[in-house]
Amino acid sequence: MPPEYQLASYWDDRFKHEQHFEWLGDGSDSILPHLEAYLRSTMIAPHVFPPRLLHIGAGSSTLSERILETYRQVLRDNVDGRLIVNMDFSEVSVRQGEEVEGKRRLESERMQWVQADALKWSDLLTLADGQNAEGYFAIIVDKSTSDAISCADDIPLKSSPDLHPLLRSYVEESILPTGEPMFLHPVGLLALHLASLVRPGGIWISLSYSSSRFAFLDHPVENDMGSIHPGVFWALERVEGVEAPSGQQKTGINAPNVLHQVYIMRRTDAPASARPR
C-alpha cells in the first residue's frame, strides 16, 4: 500500500522520527532562481511593499531558511522575516519550525509558521481575513506539495459554511438533477484556495515530479466549471525541466536523465473572494 501522503497523521508520525528530508532536492537550482528573479523585479517599482510569501507544505526542508536568505540577499535592509509564512498541516512540523524561529534574537527576524490544511477553506480564513493591498501574498512556493495533495481522492462539493464562498455559491446554483454531489480534483481546489490569498500579478512557483501536474489549467475538464474554473484565476506562464538532484537519478549507462518540472503560474485579475452575480 503506498504512503498516505494526503493525511496529516502520516506526516506527524514521519516528522517525529525524521528531522530533515528534501523532496525533489533543496530548491537551490529549481525554485530559488525564480524567486530571486521575481524579488528583483519588484525593486523596479517605487513605493512597493516588500512581497509577502506563503510557503505551503514547508515540512522539514531547509527551503524555508533558503527563502529567507534569498530575501536578505535581494532586499537587504527591507527584510522582515514575518513577510514569510511557512504553512504545513502537520502539527509536529509547525512546532519544530516555531522552535527554530524562537531562537532568533529579534522578533522581526523570525518567519511565521502556521498549521493549516490547504484543502480546508476554514483553515485558511486566518490568512485571508482583513487583507489590504499590501496584505495579500505576492508569492506562493510549493516544493512537491501539490504532488502530495494530488494523492487525495476527488473532493465532493457540498454546500456548507466551511466551503469556499465561490464554490458554495456554485454548488447552490448548480444542483445536479440526480442529487449526486459534484467533485473537484484536490489540486484544482488548492488552486482556487490559493487564488483567494494572492494578489493579481503574483506568482505560484511549484516544483513537481509530474509533467502534467497543472495540465487542467490549459485543458478544462469535461464538466467545465465556468467562472470558477482554476484556469480563470491562474495562467500557466512557464514550465521548465530541471535535472533531478544527485541520488534521484536512474542508474545505468543508457538510463535517461530524470527531470523534475518547475511551474510558474501567474495570478490573473479575476476576483476570487466572491462569485460575481
pLDDT tens for each residue of 184-215: 899 999 999 999 999 999 999 999 999 999 99
User: Would you say how long the chain is, in residues?
Assistant: 277
CB atoms within 10 A of CB 52: 23
Reported pTM: 0.88
* Tens digit of each residue's pLDDT (9 = 90 or more) over 67-85: 999 999 999 877 899 999 9
Smallest CA-to-CA distance from 202 within 269, 263, 146 is with: 269
* Tens digit of each residue's pLDDT (9 = 90 or more) over 127-154: 876 555 556 999 999 999 999 999 888 9
pLDDT at 21: 72
Q: C-alpha grid cell for residue 96?
A: 519544530
Q: Which domains does the chain have, with CATH numbers?
A: 8-267 (3.40.50.150)
pLDDT: is 241 or 49 the higher one? 241
What backbone torsions phi and psi does residue 41 show, to the nearest 5 degrees?
Answer: -65, -30
Mean pLDDT for 14-33 is: 83
pLDDT of 6 strictly over 80: no
